[in-house]
Structures are given as C-alpha cells and as structure tokens.
Structure 1
Amino acid sequence: MSRSAWKRAAVALAAVVVVAGLAGCEDGDGGTKPAGAAATPATQSPEEAVKAVRAAYAKTAEAKSAKVEMRLVVSGTEGAGSSTFTGVQGWGPSVADLKVTDSTYLADVPGAPVETRAIATGGATYMDVGAEQAAQTGGKRWMRIDAEGAAGGDQLLTQLTAGLSTVNQDPAKELGLLAEAPAVKHLGPVTDSDVTAQAYEGEPAAGKHVEVWIGTDGYPVRMIVRTEADRSLTKLTTDYTDYGTGAAVQAPPATDTFDFMELLKKLGAGGGQG
C-alpha cells in the first residue's frame, strides 16, 4: 500500500474509533435529581414530561451499563458516511466493547477489515486494524487514539468526525441534559417491533435535538441524537437492552498497540492530506 493510501486507511479507521470512543469523553451526574415515575396519559404536560425524563435518568444512572446497537449517519460534508456499532457500553466509568460493521469509512479503504472491534476504556479508544494493516505497523493490530485532540490538526480526520464531538453516548448524561432543556415535549406512545414506549423530545443545546423512547419499565429503549455543526449533520440512533449487564472492558496489551498520532507524524501528515 502506498504512503498516501496507508495514511487514508489510518485516518478512516481513526474516524470510526473516535465515534466509538465518545462514550468516554464526558462524565457527570446529568445535572438533575432523581424524581418519581410520571404517569403516561395520551398527552403529558411539559412538567410531566420533565418528570418522566428525570425518572428515566435516575434508573439509567443507577444501571451503569447496557447492551447497545448504534447506527451513526454523518451527512453534509466530505466526511459523510455511516457505521453500525453493537456490543456493551458502560457509564461511570465510561467504557465500551463494540463490534463495528456496515461502515462506509472502512469499505472505501483498501485492506481495511469489513468488520472490526473497538474498545474504549481509560480515556482512550482502541481499534483492531486487521492483519493486512498490521503488516504496516510491525504486526501490532490495535490502534490507540486518546479522547482529547484526536484530530490532531489533520484535515481529513477533522472532516470525517465533523460534528461528532457534540454527540454524547452516555445515556444518563443525555437524559440529564434533556431534562434541563428549555422545553421538553411528550410525543406520545410509540411502537417498533415488540417495543412499546413513550417518546419525548427537546433541544438541550443549540443545534442539538434529542428524542428518547422510555419503555414501560422506566428505562430508555431508544435514543436519537441529531446534531448540526460545521455544515455537518450527525444522527446517532442507539437501542438499549439488558441494563446492568456486565461491562468488564480491558485495554489491549501495550505491546500490541500503536499510537495514531505517532503514526501520522511518521507519515508526514503535518495537517495536510498526504
């Protein structure tokens, strides 16, 4: 693989890593206090909607983990694309062990794996780059990206991850922010397959819209976060099941990892596109 092709492969893989690693970018108590469960009439008042969201926040924060299926779609930029993540996610502390599939970021890169695995723990995220790419890194298969400064001034990676920094995959945090939004609206009952829930929406920040489906047990079953930033539209849809499932995530051995930023330096990235 040529030098420029390998750089693009590394950057494309890093873009997917950044998405998976956002689970570890923000921690917090959500800014709300637990509240009792709200009734679910056909249409709830704004006060009742906030009460229901806060109750879901309390249950979610206590659960600390769940199985997830995430679908990410980015549009409106040169870095437009999509990926699916399935696995387990934990919050407090923030960790994730996810399988990455159906990723346009990977499909366009020669030698990149069709399916791979991403691990987020300790403020960093790791991705298995596959055997073919590992031949370029001394046999090391796990690429590490720290949560802060992931783009490192690289134009292509910045484009690929445009808008993603505003997406927070911590469901308790998102519910806390939603409860504090200027206006929380009850959308009414929703069904999908065998899931029955009550839907709520709000805009906790400029350019950010959150919709959450709260199941009959009081836990979120789906969260849809849409953000607009830098001429980019990002939509992250996450389905949650099995709250409280084990989330014992371990980083790969240091001897089998390489640092993404160091790799870019060796490839002479320097903020350009190779």
Structure 2
Amino acid sequence: MKSSVNNAVRRRATGAALVALVLGGGAVGCSKGAAQESPALTPAAAVAKAAKKTEDITSLRYRMTGKVPGEGRVSGEAAMSMKPLAMSMKMTAEDQATDGPVEIRLVGKAMYIGAGAEAAKEMNGKSWIKFDMSALGADKNLNADQLGGGQADKNPATESTFLTGSKNVKKVGTETVAGVRTTHYKGTVTLAEFRKSLQGRDKATREKREKALDQYSKMGIDAITMDMWIDGADHTKQFRMRGAADKGPLDMTVTFLEFNKPVTVTAPPAKDTVDLAEMMKGAQQG
C-alpha cells in the first residue's frame, strides 16, 4: 500500500509543488484608482518603489496561469497569510490526466494535499494526506522540498524584486488589469545581475532574495524576462515571468486580487485525513 499511495501522491503533488515553488515568490498589490506616475520617476525607480512595498505584506489572494517546466499548462488560485503562516491553493494541470484540481493547505507546521479519488481507494476512502513539515525527510522519495514545503515559509513578494536587478527596464504604457489602471513595465535580468544587485542589502533581505534566486538556478534558468503592471498606489497588480529551464519553458502570470485582508485556512476533517508519518511508521514496523 505504501508504494501505491506514494506514487499516487507524487503524481498529484509534483505539479502543484512546482507551482507553489515558483509562486512561493511573487508580487503583490490590489488598489483601485488610475495609474499615476511622477514625471521624475524613472522606470527603474518605479519598479524599485513597488518592490520596496512588498516588505509590508501580511496576506494576499491571487490567481495564476501559465506553463511550468516539465508539467505544461497550469492554472489556479491561492490565498496566503504570512503571520500566522497559512496557505490554501487549488491548481489544475491542464495538460495532464488527473482526477480533478489539486488542493494544498498549509496550517501551522502541517501541509495537507488532496489525494484524489485514486489514492483514496488505497486509504479506506480518506481523501487527504497530512505531511508534518518538521518531521519530513525520512523518506527520500517524499521530502519537504519535493512537495513544495521548502518554499512554504517564504514571503510571496520576493520574485517581484527581481526586476530591480535589470539594466534595461522600460515603460511599455498604461493598461487596465482586473479593472485597475496600471503602468506596464518590462525588462530582462540575468540571475548573476540580480545577485550582484543584492550587495549592500541588509542580511535578512539579501538571504530571502537569494533563496528565491536559488530555485531558478536549480531549474537551469539563467535569465528572466519580466513584465510588471504597477497600480496608482505603487503596488504590483500583476507580473509575468518567462525563462528557459532545463525541462522546458517557464511562463507564469500572477494577478493579485487582494492583499492585507484576513485569510483563514482550516485543516481538513481528521476523519478524512491520513497522516503520512504514522502510515509509514506502521509500514516499517510491519
């Protein structure tokens, strides 16, 4: 049973985890009003100002769509609170044969993944699998980083700061995104350029941004083309990231619907949940 459940969970979780990994970073912003730009504010300064505002995020809700390397087209919606840490994400892998959207919930130090109908057959009808993020690692085939848990504690504002390392940020024009007037900026940045731009930053900021950078290095991405749509309150309303990875193209667009609003995520009912650690411990003892 252990092997079949592991395989079912891995198929369900991998695509969602990659999205969570990519979107464990992001930008944030959602305010109404016309896009306004100071005559003295250069494109680079506007992007830097928006990046600075991401440091004050406490929660956000967003939707995403695009392509993930090795997984194909994905779409979904998520909500996340930074303090206390909690996340709820529903994701659909459109190019893969699955039995419905994958749902991930992060509550405290536990991550729950909706196992789907096939895995539920192997778990006496239970449809959720619980992963203790502080205890995972004993099973090399199902560890926290593979399932996206290694990215779960990141402030999902980090990737929006990548464009601050670009040397060719340009203003594209003004556009309406989800009913909000924004200013569209675009540029390219190599990972080496962004890493260099972190020199002189405070230790906490530098470490957080370097951690986000590392995930792209592991994908084999050397450079990122980025579009940002910034609203009149200097928040990033939407961003798009594109890059060439070892397993195919990365092309993700994230649109922010709310931020700094209450986010509540609850654990699935215990009667519908299997604890992976207990299940594996029982299998080992058996």
Global fold match (TM > 0.5): yes
SS at match of 2:17: helix
Q: Name the structure 2 match of 1:88.
A: 79
Residue type of the partner of 2:37?
A
Q: Name the structure 1 match of 2:258.
A: 242
Q: CA RMSD in A?
A: 4.4
SS at match of 1:88: strand
Unaligned runs of 5+ residues in structure 1 are 28-37, 267-274
| Conserved? CA contact 2:82–2:155, under 8 Å | yes
With over 3 angstroms needed to count, the CA separation of the structure-2 counterparts of 1:82 and 1:90, relative to structure 1, is: farther
* 1:118 to partner: Cα distance: 1.6
Residue type of the partner of 1:142?
W
Deviations 1:124-146 (A, max 9, x none): 64221234431212333223465
Residue type of the partner of 1:197?
T
Q: Give the 5 Å matches for 1:48-59.
A: 48-59=42-53
With over 3 angstroms needed to count, the CA separation of the structure-2 counterparts of 1:184 and 1:120, relative to structure 1, is: farther
* 1:98 to partner: Cα distance: 1.9
Residue type of the partner of 2:276?
D
Residues of 2 paired with 1:237 and 1:85: CA distance?
A: 11
Residues of 2 paired with 1:121 and 1:227: CA distance?
A: 32
> Aligned pair count?
237
**TM-score normalised per structure 2:** 0.63
SS at match of 2:259: coil
Q: Give the 5 Å matches for 1:14-93.
A: 14-22=13-21, 39-40=37-38, 48-74=42-68, 79-91=70-82
Residues of 2 paired with 1:135 and 1:24: CA distance?
A: 31
Of the structure 1 ranges 133-142 and 18-27, higher mean CA displacement relative to structure 2 is found in 18-27
* 1:238 to partner: Cα distance: 0.5
Q: Name the structure 2 match of 1:173.
A: 158
Q: Name the structure 2 match of 1:188.
A: 172
Q: Name the structure 1 match of 2:126.
A: 140
SS at match of 1:60: helix
With over 3 angstroms needed to count, the CA separation of the structure-2 counterparts of 1:169 and 1:71, relative to structure 1, is: farther
Q: Name the structure 1 match of 2:208.
A: none
Unaligned runs of 5+ residues in structure 2 are 27-35, 192-221
Q: Name the structure 2 match of 1:259.
A: 276
Residue type of the partner of 2:256?
Y
Residue type of the partner of 2:58?
K
Residues of 1 paired with 2:25 and 2:236: CA distance?
A: 19
| Conserved? CA contact 1:21–1:124, under 8 Å | no
With over 3 angstroms needed to count, the CA separation of the structure-2 counterparts of 1:204 and 1:94, relative to structure 1, is: farther
With over 3 angstroms needed to count, the CA separation of the structure-2 counterparts of 1:22 and 1:74, relative to structure 1, is: closer
* 1:245 to partner: Cα distance: 1.7
* 1:230 to partner: Cα distance: 1.8
With over 3 angstroms needed to count, the CA separation of the structure-2 counterparts of 1:54 and 1:9, relative to structure 1, is: same
Q: Which has the higher contact order (CA 8 A, sep 6+)?
A: 2
Q: Name the structure 1 match of 2:214.
A: none
Deviations 1:18-46 (A, max 9, x none): 1354279679xxxxxxxxxx9355xx88x
Residues of 2 paired with 1:61 and 1:212: CA distance?
A: 17
**TM-score normalised per structure 1:** 0.65
With over 3 angstroms needed to count, the CA separation of the structure-2 counterparts of 1:19 and 1:169, relative to structure 1, is: farther
Of all paired residues, the percent bearing the same amino acid is 20
SS at match of 1:240: strand
With over 3 angstroms needed to count, the CA separation of the structure-2 counterparts of 1:182 and 1:19, relative to structure 1, is: same
| Conserved? CA contact 1:69–1:87, under 8 Å | yes
| Conserved? CA contact 2:25–2:157, under 8 Å | no
Residues of 1 paired with 2:181 and 2:251: CA distance?
A: 22
Deviations 1:83-137 (A, max 9, x none): 21113133466542122236333xx14xx2x234221344664221234431212
